[in-house]
Amino acid sequence: MKTKLTLLVLGIFMLAMAGISGAETYGNTSPFETISTHSPDYVLGVQVDVPLTLQLQSFGMMYGHEDLGAPYASNAIFGLYSSDASSGLPATLMAVTNPIYLDSVATYDNIAFTTTPTIPSGTYWMMALYEGQASPRMSLLDGSSLVAFWSNSYAAGMPGSAPAVDSYTGQNFNYWINGVPDATATEGTSWSSLKSLY
């Protein structure tokens, strides 16, 4: 009985550790081939599919291109928006970062969101707002890639709800999000399964 109890406790501990293990990443982490000349005072970005319930942690992005000269330097804010049920375009701000200064050819990962809400699986929008001309890394290879944008002063920050949104196709950006999967349901089921073994 003692051995069974030890195994049960060990199993629960391992499940708990699995539930809080490392973050998952969703978005465009493979380096794209060129850079954008993103105009200031526009919120602009691309979609990301999140396949599971996720507690948001941070934003990541690739800036500039080592073969294309020095990128523009700019302050930036990044946010994640939900998708509108009817249009599919950005709707509600789910999480936002503090401002960050971008000034080199670099990968900027783990730009912390100011809050870490848990979001359900679905399609979201990774959006960027730059104070000056900016050089996020970009791809032009997928003509169907959808971009959403709206005019928005940098000083005003990311709005809680997206205003009238425009869109075009043909660009994609090296943006991604990091978060921890929500394993609450899995842990509960596994606990019941373990108890049934004893």
Q: Which domains does the chain have, with CATH numbers?
A: 23-182 (2.60.120)
Angstrom CA distances, 80 to 102, 118, 184, 197, stand at 19, 12, 23, 43
Query: Which pLDDT belongs to residue 183?
Result: 72
| Cα 192 to Cα 10: distance, rounded to the nearest angstrom | 15
User: Which residue type sits at 120?
Assistant: P
| pLDDT of res. 23 | 86
Closest by CA position to 176, among listed 116, 120, 110: 110
- The pLDDT value given to residue 193: 32
- Can you spell out the DSSP letters for 27-84? E--SPPSEE--BPSSEEEEEEEEE-S-EEEEEEEEEES-TTS-PPPPEEEEEEEEEEP
Q: How far apart are CA 174 and CA 104, in angstroms?
A: 15
d(CA 162, CA 121): 20
Q: Give the pLDDT of residue 182.
A: 86
Tell me the pLDDT of the chain (198 aa) as tens digits: 434 333 333 343 333 333 335 789 999 999 999 999 999 999 999 999 999 999 999 999 999 999 999 999 999 999 999 999 999 999 999 999 999 999 999 999 999 999 999 999 999 999 999 999 999 999 999 999 999 999 999 999 999 999 999 999 999 999 999 999 987 533 332 323 323 332
pLDDT digits (tens, 9 = 90+) for 95-107: 999 999 999 999 9
Distance of CA 110 to CAs 43, 147, 163, 188, 195, Å?
Answer: 20, 23, 28, 30, 38
127-143 pLDDT, tens digit each: 999 999 999 999 999 99
Adjacent-strand bridge partners of 126:
46, 80
Contact between 61 and 189 under an 8 Å Cβ cutoff? The reply is no
SS3 content of the chain, % helix, strand, coil (to 5): 20, 45, 35
